[in-house]
Structure 1
């Protein structure tokens, strides 16, 4: 048996396989926030739309924004802010469990799509108000949560509806929205 034909076919195949595996890993990494490990907006959108299509009557879309997050960074430094973000991400991911997906959309804004979650939202609210350990301190945190039920809405419309509810829930309920 001659090995030359096998090697001629096998070496390029091995190269393409290695290249594809590396590319797939890079794409997966790009869809994850490096600080929190949660999905980024792109990864979240794809998976959230799929979950909503499969279970439109059972899904709840949530938008979460940390209240006065800038004060944490200004008072305690960016390492403290990172601790708050990672604790929030961990709490949100744990709350979502296997019935949902969570994402960090950017800055101090998070989102989730979860099945059968309406009765559990108060528990998430409580968890997001627990202090975050940082060194020898406990950092006070709070978050505003907005929800939407996208049974007849697109994900973008559901996020917009949750955004309106979230801003209404903010301390002081500012009438002017940021953006």
Structure 2
């Protein structure tokens, strides 16, 4: 019976079926390679180009529901000096994991040693005030989550994280650069404070250097530019 069925299957179909297994394996390999190249293995966050691509897609889909935050891990150098680089890595890894959990179906990116960003959304309500209140609560929840001690082999390690948030609805903007600018300025304004920063309209007019807030590392020798 099996011989009879085999004789009825075209040779080309058999060849395609045989080739499907290595092709499927190659596709899985390519996807895994893409994840490694677009992601940061330590924090579990995306690298900046992939984060920005996904963030723009989320903004297009969710508009005023979007909440974007910028995060700085405070005193990372001090952690490395006093606790060792393994402890510093643990702080980065824990911060990344907490951001991923907070963002849910959103996206998390790592832009530098201690600088990360996350984008998520809060389901819209009929009253914009309700949306803004829910977004502020979610931002406060993030600050509390990120400030929890990190477990290390030598015991719980205290961490400090500065957080700034930008609401697309509150600011009336729907483009990633201005949301990033607002969140970054709000974060810097409340640096080392026990509460998160909340971006306001004035924050969108902050001076920037090569797309980064004036005062950021690496901008001292660059040419200043006014926001668009």
Which TM-score applies when normalising by structure 2? Answer: 0.68
Q: Determine whether 1:171 maps to 2:177.
A: no
1:141 corresponds to which residue? 159
Q: Determine whether 1:31 maps to 2:49.
A: no
Report if aligned partners of 2:166, 2:182 keep a CA contact under 8 Å in 1: yes
Residue ranges of structure 2 left out of the alignment (5+ in a row): 1-6, 123-134, 194-213, 219-228
Q: 1:132 and 1:15 mapped to 2: Cα distance?
A: 43
Residue by residue, what CA displacement relative to the aligned partner does 1:122-146 show, whole Å, maximum 9, x if unpaired?
A: 1211222222121223222111111
Which TM-score applies when normalising by structure 1? Answer: 0.84
2:149 corresponds to which residue? 131
Identify the match of residue 20 of structure 1 among 16, 19, 27: 27
Q: 2:145 and 2:27 mapped to 1: Cα distance?
A: 40
2:182 corresponds to which residue? 161
**Structure 1 vs Structure 2 CA RMSD:** 2.3
State which structure, 1 or 2, has the greater radius of gyration over its C-alpha atoms: 2
Query: Number of paired residues?
Result: 176
Q: CA separation of 1:17/1:148 partners in 2, compared to 1, >3 Å: closer, same or farther?
A: same
Q: 1:73 and 1:112 mapped to 2: Cα distance?
A: 24
Q: 2:92 and 2:178 mapped to 1: Cα distance?
A: 26
Identify the match of residue 108 of structure 1 among 111, 114, 121: 114
Residue ranges of structure 1 left out of the alignment (5+ in a row): none
